[in-house]
Structure 1
């Protein structure tokens, strides 16, 4: 593939609007179609953004011969079905995080994409952010020595009404999949998959997690991660990684930073910024879109920045957290959830 990459947007909610806005600002991307469960919703979205075609079904978008890649922006519970329809139709897919409701669904999508030789990537925009990439390079190069602790949090004050999607177990509600996926993915980025998972949570009457604390451990290195997420408390939304010879601090909004600070033992603090990486770029999805298009042009079916094995590992950790705190989604049983960690 070369030249302009043609996108289809599946869903018409807020994150689809933000992603489409950023795509339209990129010279090498074109949004050619949008789909929703109703044609009226799809048409309204298409009219707003000047998109040529609007479909009232996911299958209609997936069958469009002019679509190179489908961006799945549905709620969590629909990721497996929506991405599966696109993959079955032979389309490349970028699927929002959390990747799926649970690891079993994620494994099905990865198997499908690999069997068919199709590109698939979780939309973990944090991993594509240039400052996050630079931070990881510094850690890998030994700038702070061996990692000992990782800390990260993401919380919103709310309150959210009982009928809000964040409190609806049927759509994967709760703090963990919407917000906790960021701290967990941050820890995975630096340390890989943990072999110890402990968690504590405050649950809502509906059975979703409102406030969750997670302690991850890596027995081979002795490293640990203390993470939290909340939809009832406005937390600092910061992160830090501490090693044997220093520390890196990321300020509020750690998963899409404008800067970070490296503290090396015996030296003055070093602040890292990227020229031209201001507030607009900080909130931009263009980095992950650019990575998808780079992969497609290079004929790659997986991104080295957001590898599928890493997304599967994150889903296993999220499943383990839910198993510890007792969050189940409709039709899911404890034995099935625990089995994803076996």
Structure 2
């Protein structure tokens, strides 16, 4: 283990070249994304689109955005927009992103990028054919602390990773969209994306998965737990639920050291690395919320496009698709199917794609 931790290589978001952003879906996360950009970057909020002109106009008025449209298609075709941030409900990500790409716009799509891997593969294929960037807005992986974690892993300071444990549970008041099955409700996509993304980014595709689920009285899934085995013998354990708050800690065990990311691990904050001979290093960062963290993903996208790249290293599309393949398999085992989905493939097909 090193004597000290590496420094984060994430540049100041103010230094990223500005893009003209359109926001599709003026909801809770979109408002925080817009405010984060306004406070921490030179990015330009050019337009907002919604199925309701009144909602778009209200959002634009609150945040000083010059243009408001009453449809996602109008937003996609707006001439003064370079890239669209898709922040609609999960089950609309696929259609809105494809519409934007067809109109020649880059897209940053809120997590999960789609509700299943097949949809994500369609977005990836269209973006490639059009020469456009499409990226999942999984903000965690763009945070400075995760760049330090990435360096520790890349340099092999943990040794071989043999176990990953990550979970995320939260309480929601009645009436929240997470209880709406027609909106792909349940904890898996809203919360479970974070631990599943961490697990698959570190370990790849599992060769064996065992999942358990519990239904919620609202009709959606209320809790999922899973254990996984990977080709090199590594294991992962996860839980996600909508009943109550959990520590949301992530632990990565290696043959030389153990990494423990403070909860909530997916937010700005700190972590510890402890070697098996007792040495410990600490990364201390002020805990933060979305306002302090969402701007990093927009800045990374802007830098990538300025450099002529059509993908970001922090969250390649292949990793987003891999994460959704695992989520698809968990749902298959538990019997969760979202509205309008095609019949689910077998476990062997999903895990060996």
Partner of residue 204 from structure 2, selected from 187, 192, 215: 192
Matched, 1:109 2:118: no
Q: Which runs of 5+ in 1 are unaligned?
A: none
Query: Which residue of 2 is the match for residue 296 of structure 1?
Result: 305
Cα distance in 2, alignment partners of residues 113 and 143 from structure 1? 36
Cα distance in 1, alignment partners of residues 218 and 40 from structure 2? 42
Number of corresponding residues = 336
Matched, 1:171 2:183: yes
Partner of residue 236 from structure 1, selected from 239, 247, 270: 247
Secondary structure (helix, strand or coil) at the match of 1:266 reads coil
Q: CA deviation at 1:278?
A: 5.3
Q: CA deviation at 1:279?
A: 2.9
Q: CA deviation at 1:83?
A: 0.5
Of 19-28 and 109-118, the range deviating more from structure 2: 19-28
Contact (CA 8 Å) 2:267, 2:289: kept in 1 or not?
no
Contact (CA 8 Å) 1:319, 1:337: kept in 2 or not?
no
Question: Does the C-alpha gap of structure 1 residues 26 and 214 become closer, same or farther in structure 2, counting only changes over 3 Å?
Answer: same
Q: CA deviation at 1:21?
A: 0.2
Partner of residue 254 from structure 1, selected from 234, 248, 265: 265
Alignment of 1:1-342 (within 5 A): 3-158=17-172, 160-161=173-174, 163-205=175-217, 207-219=219-231, 221-273=232-284, 279=288, 283-332=292-341, 334-336=343-345, 340-341=350-351
Secondary structure (helix, strand or coil) at the match of 1:229 reads strand
Q: CA deviation at 1:44?
A: 0.3
Secondary structure (helix, strand or coil) at the match of 1:47 reads helix
Q: Deviations over 1:169-213 (max 9, x none)?
A: 211100100000000001112112222221101012554221110
Q: Which runs of 5+ in 2 are unaligned?
A: 1-15
Cα distance in 1, alignment partners of residues 346 and 78 from structure 2? 36
Runs (4+) off by over 2 Å:
204-208, 277-283, 331-342
**TM-score for both structures, normalised by structure 2:** 0.90
Secondary structure (helix, strand or coil) at the match of 1:226 reads strand
Contact (CA 8 Å) 1:136, 1:190: kept in 2 or not?
no
